[in-house]
Structure 1
């Protein structure tokens, strides 16, 4: 699935959201390492990131060729500052209508609207892929993210009070949200 869109953000910052490609592998891995170190709201810790640049490049090639999955990067001044993606919940017919959504942005770029643009791009891609439901999990204490998703019409459908076990904060409650497309 192909995607590319340029957007002018607050303060005149130009943002390009596009498919991640094989040549992005190293920069994307470095960005993921940083985003996962900067917040306790993401699924994994930096030391849990597996694979190397070559494996990441192969994965990006495969995702770029996919008709129903996408990995997007947010680029400012030639630098990858965030990423988002959609993945199929499964290939069986009973769940083929559902996709998962995830997003991360470098902390120094928070508050510029990059998360909103990445979310909108992911929603567009999910619709293009034919999904009728987009799902996510968000830490309940992550008020900025929960608010962003609610403004986009994601609805809460459940909670897991011990969804994450943070090394710093102990158990974190996860909010399950979905968007009908």
Structure 2
């Protein structure tokens, strides 16, 4: 999917949200690894990344060419500082109405409105693609993210007390949230 939007962050700096392209592969991979190092709230650790820059470029191209999936990059100046996307839960008819949301943002840019803007952009793309709902998992200790998702209308529908096993803190509870796009 194609997406592009200019915005001003809370600190007055300009930012651009846009679909990733092949030439963004190296920068996107670096941001992925940095963000997964900066917080224990994301799914994996940098040493578990299985993609190289070329594979990341191919991933971004597939998402941009897709009719129902997207990977949106947040740029400040020419620097990628975050990413968010929606993926189809599956191709089978019974789950084709569901999209899964994921986001990562360089810690330096937390609290400036980019997380909200990226989430809203992905929700809009999910609506445009015809999904009935967007789903996500969030670590229960990630209070800021939970507040953001609730503010945008996501509701909790379950929990997994041992959803993640952190190298640093042991088990982390995951909260499952969904946003109804038809209501």
Quote the residue 2:53 is aligned against. 53
- Deviating beyond 4 angstroms after TM superposition, the runs of 4 or more aligned structure 1 residues are none
Quote the residue 2:64 is aligned against. 64
Structure 2: runs of 5 or more not aligned: none
Quote the residue 1:132 is aligned against. 132
Structure 1: runs of 5 or more not aligned: none
Quote the residue 1:86 is aligned against. 86
The 3-state SS of whatever aligns with 1:41 is coil
- Residue 153 of structure 2 corresponds to residue 153 of structure 1: yes
- Residue 115 of structure 2 corresponds to residue 115 of structure 1: yes
In the alignment, the residues of structure 1 paired with residue 150 and residue 22 of structure 2 have an alpha-carbon distance, to the nearest angstrom, of: 33
Residue by residue over 1:33-87, the C-alpha shift from the partner in whole angstroms, topping out at 9 and shown as x without a partner, is 0000000000000001112111111121111110000001000011000000000
In the alignment, the residues of structure 2 paired with residue 28 and residue 112 of structure 1 have an alpha-carbon distance, to the nearest angstrom, of: 20
Deviation at 1:98, TM superposition (A): 0.1
**Which segment drifts farther, 151-160 or 59-68?**
59-68
Quote the residue 2:14 is aligned against. 14
Count of residue correspondences:
181
The 3-state SS of whatever aligns with 1:164 is strand
The 3-state SS of whatever aligns with 1:10 is coil
The 3-state SS of whatever aligns with 2:93 is coil
- Residue 173 of structure 2 corresponds to residue 176 of structure 1: no
Cα RMSD of the aligned pairs, angstroms, is: 0.6
In the alignment, the residues of structure 1 paired with residue 178 and residue 36 of structure 2 have an alpha-carbon distance, to the nearest angstrom, of: 23
Deviation at 1:11, TM superposition (A): 2.1
Quote the residue 1:41 is aligned against. 41
Q: What is the TM-score when the length of structure 1 is the normalising length?
A: 0.99
Quote the residue 2:24 is aligned against. 24
